[in-house]
Amino acid sequence: MSVRNLARRFLPILSWAPEYTRRTLTNDLIVAVIVTVMLIPQSLAYALLAGLPVQVGLFASMAPLLLYAIFGTSRTLAVGPVAVASLMTAAAIAPLAAQGSPEYLGAAIALAMVSGLLLLAMGLLRLGFLANFLSHPVVAGFITASGLQIAAGQLGPALGIHLEGETFVELILQLGPRLGEINPYTAAIGGGSLVFLFWSRSGLKALLLRAGLADRTAGTLAKIGPAIALVATTVAVWGFALGDRGVSIVGAVPEGLPSIALPPFDGALWMKVLVPALLISIVGYVESISVALTLAAKRRQRVDPDQELIALGAANIGAAVSGGFPVTGGLSRSVVNFEAGAETPAAGAFTAIGIALVTLFLTPLLFFLPKATLAATIIVAVLSLVDFGALKRTFVYSRGDFAAMVATIIVTLVAGVEPGLVVGVGLSIFLHLYATSRPHVAVVGQIPGTAHFRNVKRHDVVTDPEILSLRVDESLYFPNARFLEDRINEGVAANPELKHVILECPAVNTIDASALESLEAINHRLKDGGITFHLSEVKGPVMDRLKRSSFLEELTGQVHLSQYDAIASIKPELASSALAAERVRGTEEPEE
């Protein structure tokens, strides 16, 4: 690979920057303004969700966006703080330090740094496939449970009461006894914000359409409902002095840009956050790459999954060195980015500049911002992640995936995010191993008039008592090697006339060492019983590996190109008569 191509691979900005035009700049700037307005309340809210000062959310929305613009391959993915990663951040560092302490912030920064380094290493080693261990039902269940837990955790700030607990169950159990402590002013702000935000998702667009705006423009502007709620409630708290009536406000937010500095290397702390950082990295990557690939497909653009690991790693390292916390690609912001017409990652860089200007000049205006509004913003955002319909769809299609999904939801709600994710992944892997340890093995016969072979239980086929044809519909490896031996032994024991066993292998993509030993044992056992063992339809890569062993030399039968060739070689008259059967029958049919 040439130096130029290598640079383009690791620095995707070199692919689009030379073609950047004034028209592209205009479109990206317009998008940046819209996303900046949308990102401000989200950044503040997700910082509070992570248990951090609100300005940390702004800090996490600058350097990561700039770095993603350099290293990212998606033209429309919007990187920054997101709800699930913020919840996982709080869950990871809550046991390590008291919320609000410098140690708590230091742990969040360390978590971002370790997450970034892990993602970067995975990208350089091209380990994007590791995310495949998170099955879609597990991810869907985890996000649904996380959405419920986040929403439950924000009921306290939205109502003006104090709820303690880290899990959904703990929070809900505390809610009832403390309803009498509700602050009416806080509840009015929180409840009013919730109603407005839910209405704005559909009603605001309709209102803008009636005002004469184009459909696309109205849909994009409707996304800034949280910013409208932020401004309106902040003015209300200031105008009516609601801070003096028990309404919790953000208070003074430090002005100025974050200082750039490497976080201190604390080996003990980094080891404590290693596992949570890995979970956050994988979950964040799965969410990001899913959004990126979906949006790229709509414009027929290309996204490199391994380079996305590098880009997200750089973004998280950028968050760490600028005093932020873990970030990833956000669904809602990315969709707005896409619908508003973002053409390049430069839109994200311009958004970072917009956030920087807010941090420099507008933070004093956030003093009277009620935390109830931020809580309402979070509740509305995360409830859109809750998908109970997926439970029904998964149950109908796959009981195993449904079990993994339900287990993930229950454990997450009862024990917390990390145990829920670990249980879901573990159960998915176990169910996969169990399913593949008992592969579908079918006895097949020849369909009359054709050279095709199908399951004897599903089709009218031609068979011979002296030949047992088995089709195995799974790769052969250590969990299912003994199962195949048992299946062939059963077939041999049930038929005393048997002289040939043919193993049809169209779905066998690999044969590991354990399976090879089983095949050798099957061959020797059949040989001792006077039965010949054959293989058919073996794929090239599998044959290449078999040739590196002595199995083919010891095989009593042959390896045939097709199942028909195998039958034709063993009993030519059987194969030819079955092939001609339907043709003869066809000549007897009257002409139309």
> In the predicted model, what is the mean pLDDT of residues 254-278?
90
User: DSSP H helical segments within 162-273, as ranges?
Assistant: 168-175, 184-200, 203-210, 215-221, 225-239, 267-272
pLDDT on residue 237: 96
Domain assignments of the chain as residue spans, ordered by start: 3-429, 441-584
DSSP 233: H
pLDDT of 589 reads: 43
Give how far Cα 103 sits from Cα of 115, 262, 321, Å.
18, 16, 16
Q: What is the mean pLDDT of residues 447-470?
A: 93
Residue 585: its pLDDT value, please?
46
Q: What's the mean pLDDT in 424-443? A: 88
Selection from 120-124, 176-180, 212-216, 580-584 with the highest mean pLDDT: 120-124
Choose from 111-115, 159-163, 165-169, 218-222 the range with maximum mean pLDDT.
111-115
Greatest alpha-carbon span in the chain? 98
The upper half-sphere exposure of residue 110, i.e. CA atoms within 13 Å in the direction of its Cβ, equals 23
Helix, strand, coil % over all residues of the chain, rounded to 5: 65, 5, 25
Q: By the 8 A CB rule, do 246 and 185 touch?
A: yes
Report yes or no: 186 and 172 within 8 Å, Cβ to Cβ.
Answer: no
How would residue 299 be classed by pLDDT, with cut points 50, 70 and 90? confident
Specify the pLDDT at position 384. Answer: 84
Are residues 415 and 146 in contact, defined by beta-carbon separation less than 8 angstroms?
no
Mean of per-residue pLDDT scores for the chain: 90
Phi-psi region of 323 (alpha: psi -120 to 50; beta: other; left: phi over 0): left
* Higher pLDDT, residue 208 or 251: 251
Percent of the chain at pLDDT > 90 equals 64
Of the candidates 124, 454, 171, the one whose C-alpha atom is nearest the C-alpha of residue 309 is 124
Q: Please compute the mean of the pLDDT values over residues 366-385 and round it to a whole number.
A: 91
β partners of residue 536: 504, 560
523-564 confidence digits (pLDDT tens) = 999 999 999 999 999 999 999 999 999 999 999 999 999 999
Q: What is the mean pLDDT of residues 499-520?
A: 95
Q: What is the pLDDT of residue 590?
A: 41
Considering the domain 441-584, what is its CATH architecture?
2-Layer Sandwich (3.30)
pLDDT of residue 298: 86
pLDDT above 80: residue 67: yes
| Residue 537, Ramachandran bin (φ over 0: left; ψ between -120 and 50: alpha; else beta) | left
Q: Which of 151-160, 167-176, 336-345 has the lowest mean pLDDT?
A: 336-345
Beta bridge partners of 504: 471, 536
Give the pLDDT band (50/70/90) at residue 421: confident
**Minimal CA–CA distance to 42: which of 103, 93, 86, 101?**
86
